A and B are shown apart, each in its own frame.
Chain A
């Protein structure tokens, strides 16, 4: 079955298109999860290092006093 709207023709979706869509969706979701994980890791690492540096600075200040 073919729908015609003005000059644009819509063809019914082939099974191949569904498979391509599922593949693109899978890749897209995987990349999104990867990016979110990198972001979360970065936040955790920076926060941890920041805390360690703060503690080290405090220890130095106590020693100086």
Chain B
């Protein structure tokens, strides 16, 4: 007797960790850090509970925009090696669930931030989520090689929101913290795109490396790093800066400029032969660059009560 065996592939039920992955926890950790610095360097004292709640809801808003991004980009995430294991393309979570989670957390984070701090901070968070999910993910990412340049604004808002949550207004210092991340984003992502070129090409994402080639991208990295340096160093001469920040910023920008210069003057064939060792080094360094700049701002704020921070 022949047995008729049929197998049904049941969708794998998602665990809690899969939903956490939708919120891009690594990006969230950077958001928490920069927003916390924005809030702590502000020249007003904030109640610890209000501060903690504000940071949590800013991070939750960033996570919500990450989930919305994963819902919209599921098709290209599946093609790219770097993103293929994300919960939606990996089949762990349905795209609709990512959309639902993103929308729900967006609403919760905005309303709660308004109640915890103020409506200006909540308004900026709303704009950030909209900018990342709609302007960047739905529009710019697939239509222009300048996607990273303009889209970088979404990642630049958290320290400004932290500052506004504390002070209730936007000032030069908040704008400079925004500008620091905004100008840092292009060289950071283009360094990544140099050694991940095929990923973007396969997915049809018009990164600069795909549309204008590696030579043009190398030049762009150099130009943006040159433009970044005065913004980063300039923050040293405001209320949030000081000698510690200035020294750190000079060293970090010197190193970043040196790395960008090397990237610009490298031959594509040599880079491919040594497996993009310089590009990978500069990419990793750029993460430390941002972390240490905000760390130095925090150090200035921490030293100020002892008469050591600031000018």
Contacts and interface: CB of A to CB of B under 8 A. Distances in A.
B47 A19 contact: no
A56 interface: no
Interface string B43-79: 0000101101100100000000000000000000000
Nearest to B56: A37
A59 B194 CA distance: 65
Contacts of B50: 41, 44
A41 B52 CA distance: 10
A50 B47 CA distance: 15
Interface in A29-60: 37, 40-41, 43-44, 48
Interface residues of A, number: 14
A20 B13 contact: yes
Interface of A: 16, 19-20, 22-23, 25-27, 37, 40-41, 43-44, 48
19 contacts: A22-B15, A22-B16, A23-B14, A23-B15, A23-B19, A25-B16, A26-B16, A26-B19, A26-B20, A37-B49, A37-B53, A37-B56, A40-B53, A41-B49, A41-B115, A41-B116, A44-B47, A44-B50, A48-B47
* Most chain B CB within a 10 A radius of its CB, from A40, A41, A44: A41
Contacts of B53: 37, 40-41
Interface of B: 13-17, 19-20, 47, 49-50, 52-53, 56, 115-116
A1 B56 CA distance: 46
A25 B47 CA distance: 30
Contacts of B115: 41
Contacts of B19: 23, 26
Given A26-B16, A41-B116, 8 more contacts: A19-B14, A19-B15, A22-B17, A26-B19, A27-B16, A37-B53, A41-B115, A44-B49
A49 B50 CA distance: 14
A23 to B, nearest CB: 5
